[in-house]
Structure 1
Amino acid sequence: MRITNGRRFAALAVSAALAVTAQGAAHQAAHAAGIDRVGITVGSLGNPYFVATDKGISSEAGKITPDAKLTFVSSDYDLNKQFTQIDNFIASGAKIIMINAVDPVAVLPAIKRAQNAGVTVAAFDVAAQGATLTVMTDNVKAGAISCQYIVDHLPGQKGNVVIVNGPQVSSIRDRVAGCKQVLAQHPGIKLLSSDQNAQASRDGGLAVGQSLLTHFPKIDAMFAINDPTAIGLNLAAKQLHRTDFIITSVDGAPDIVAELKDKTSLVKASAAQDPSGMAATAYRLAVAAVGGKKPEQAVTLLAPKLVTTENVDSYKGWGG
């Protein structure tokens, strides 16, 4: 059916009206549920990844709970500090607590205290036992596709590989597990080390990288549990004049895009996440849960996408 300009304008007006009505309904539901305070605790506010998650939450809150006061804090991967933050959120009257858990199991007592106080707890990026809902990347798959790149680029699928670990949150453990699953399928690959904690940071990657490269004279590939670690490893390699291996990681952060485009960098691939979209989804589900509509599945997994030196030019970045 051909739509005239008049009809098209009318159709657009109806669509706009429906959108406004839906948004208004969401606002009314949020107001009725008393969502005026929300607490968000993440691993590190200094990590660009969590800057992106916080932007995702802020953006979504602006759409569906514009009157809610959002408080963002950094746990710095300290469980006791996160306990205190959660207790402070409860005391302040927060209706929703968004949590990037330091420890997926040990955090349970704090989550129970929150829920007993009538607070909806939404976990994002990593698991948190007892949370009302969880939204995170399929981190096992992220580790697997990143390490499959290593396998595919080792001559004869043979060589010495190092996994540079991090804080033992669920996402990092899952990435390492996914990587190990892939490497274990290839008897020609020797895993030299997998227990060194670089603290998921650039400085940690530099320090651990220097130690590993000094200890092991022959390394063919390194898997870093996140992009800051990978960048630190690359810096360590440059300082020690090592160019005989490749590095892969997880995140797809803005900084890693520059590394992938730099032909002198040893970083060759990163399993990209969508931190902004992940956190926004978790917030949207949390608001619905406060209104009595819990998600059908307690855990929502989002698929990662491998970004490499070969396809980086088409990568749209976080939120793209």
Structure 2
Amino acid sequence: MSFRTFQAGGVAAAIAIALAAMPACARELRSVGISVGSLGNPYFVALVEGASQAAHKINPDVRVNAVSSEYDLGKQFTEMDNFIAAGVDLILVAADDPKAIAPAIKRAQAAGIAVVAVDVEAEGADATVETDNTKAGEIACAYLGDKMGAGNVVIQWAGPLSGSIARVKGCEKALGAHAGIKVLSDDQNGNCTREGGMNIMLDHLQRYRDIKGVYTICEPEALGADLAIRQLKRDGIVIASTDGSPDAVSALKGDTDLIATSSQDPRQEGRIGVEEGYGLMNGKPPEHRILMLPPQLVTRDNAAQYKGW
């Protein structure tokens, strides 16, 4: 499978050309099913909004049904089967497990439904639209490492998702450039929630007496970690994360321990996912099955200028 990192403008231009080339008898987009990890996460809310806007641009009467798996693979299987039974034309899925989701994707494709993976990879999907997650982890932790100089770091992830794994990999690569930095933990799953991030951080703060830095693969965990640090009144700890959400930007501008995040563009992911899916429905497969969107580093210094999602 080939892949290439695209600038957002280049992707949009390429898709616009492809959509303009659709035959007059193009298959109608009547319904779209979207399954994401949690609609309590602002990131996925924005992704669904972007997808819905793109779908309604194609067909103002399209039905868009977005559901939340709550990171339960069994529930996501049921959601996928419900989409199939409802006869949707297109499915966007943020897979809870990139490999285990494969049978559900095959069932959808056998029913003539195009499947596009968004945010994270999913085995067998017709196309994937995601952030360059390795780069996202790398630029956030390069900044974290530079600000720390030396000391102990803990990393929170969100389970065996491709994006989660890639961000941790990129982070550890960046931190590895600092001889004085040691990663104490990198395998605790906060499920991308504030509660998860807070509970893991409370445990880490009680287990390790000397923590100087934290990287979380998503911002709900980062904000939870910040709450834990304040609850235990620990000083001298800085946090970096990934997403670029409005809550994180507010945290960067306020009195918190968050110093940087590598932003994504969930609305763009949702828009491109629908546009690529519509092309697939009409015999126009993407030039590259994996589209990677570049992240942007947002810090306390440039948060005021950042145009987020």
How high is the TM-score relative to the length of structure 1?
0.88
Measured after TM superposition, the shift of residue 316 of structure 1 is: 1.0
SS of equivalent to 1:269? strand
Residue number in structure 1 paired with 2:171: 179
Residue number in structure 1 paired with 2:86: 92
Residue number in structure 1 paired with 2:294: 303
Q: 1: distance between equivalents of 2:291 and 2:234?
A: 41
Aligned-partner residue type, residue 300 of structure 2: T
Residue number in structure 2 paired with 1:4: none
Q: Is 178-187 or 209-218 further displaced after alignment?
A: 178-187
Measured after TM superposition, the shift of residue 32 of structure 1 is: 3.9
SS of equivalent to 1:140? helix
Measured after TM superposition, the shift of residue 37 of structure 1 is: 1.6
Aligned-partner residue type, residue 296 of structure 1: E
Q: What are the residue-to-residue correspondences of 1:5-16 with 2, within 5 Å?
A: none
Check whether the contact 1:243–1:266 (CA below 8 A) recurs between aligned residues.
no
Larger Rg: 1
Check whether the contact 1:125–1:137 (CA below 8 A) recurs between aligned residues.
yes
Matched, 1:168 2:160: yes
Q: What are the residue-to-residue correspondences of 1:39-188 with 2, within 5 Å?
A: 39-154=33-148, 157-188=149-180
Q: 1: distance between equivalents of 2:160 and 2:43?
A: 17
Measured after TM superposition, the shift of residue 167 of structure 1 is: 2.5
Check whether the contact 2:154–2:183 (CA below 8 A) recurs between aligned residues.
yes
Residue number in structure 2 paired with 1:12: none
Query: After superposition, what is the alpha-carbon deviation per residue over 1:148-194, rounded to whole angstroms, capped at 9, x for unaligned?
Result: 0111112xx32111111222211111100110111223222111111
Residue number in structure 2 paired with 1:253: 245
Greater helix share, 1 or 2? 1
Query: After superposition, what is the alpha-carbon deviation per residue over 1:255-277, rounded to whole angstroms, capped at 9, x for unaligned?
Result: 00111001x31000000000001
Matched, 1:244 2:236: yes
SS of equivalent to 2:39? coil
Q: What are the residue-to-residue correspondences of 1:284-295 with 2, within 5 Å?
A: 284-295=275-286
Structure 1 residues 30, 63: closer, same or farther in 2, change over 3 A?
Answer: farther
Higher RCO (C-alpha 8 Å, min separation 6): 2
Residue number in structure 1 paired with 2:211: 219
Measured after TM superposition, the shift of residue 29 of structure 1 is: 5.9
Check whether the contact 1:200–1:228 (CA below 8 A) recurs between aligned residues.
yes
Aligned length: 293
Residue number in structure 2 paired with 1:277: 268
Unmatched segments (≥5 aa) in structure 1 = 1-21
Identity of aligned residues (%): 46
Measured after TM superposition, the shift of residue 240 of structure 1 is: 0.4
Residue number in structure 2 paired with 1:195: 187
Q: 1: distance between equivalents of 2:46 and 2:177?
A: 35
Q: 2: distance between equivalents of 1:312 and 1:138?
A: 21
Structure 1 residues 29, 53: closer, same or farther in 2, change over 3 A?
Answer: farther
Check whether the contact 2:241–2:262 (CA below 8 A) recurs between aligned residues.
yes
Residue number in structure 2 paired with 1:317: 308
Structure 1 residues 225, 36: closer, same or farther in 2, change over 3 A?
Answer: same
How high is the TM-score relative to the length of structure 2?
0.91
Measured after TM superposition, the shift of residue 244 of structure 1 is: 1.2
Q: 2: distance between equivalents of 1:111 and 1:29?
A: 27
Pick from 202, 219, 228 the counterpart of residue 220 of structure 2: 228
SS of equivalent to 2:35? strand
Q: 1: distance between equivalents of 2:234 and 2:23?
A: 58
Q: 2: distance between equivalents of 1:111 and 1:298?
A: 15
Check whether the contact 1:167–1:200 (CA below 8 A) recurs between aligned residues.
no
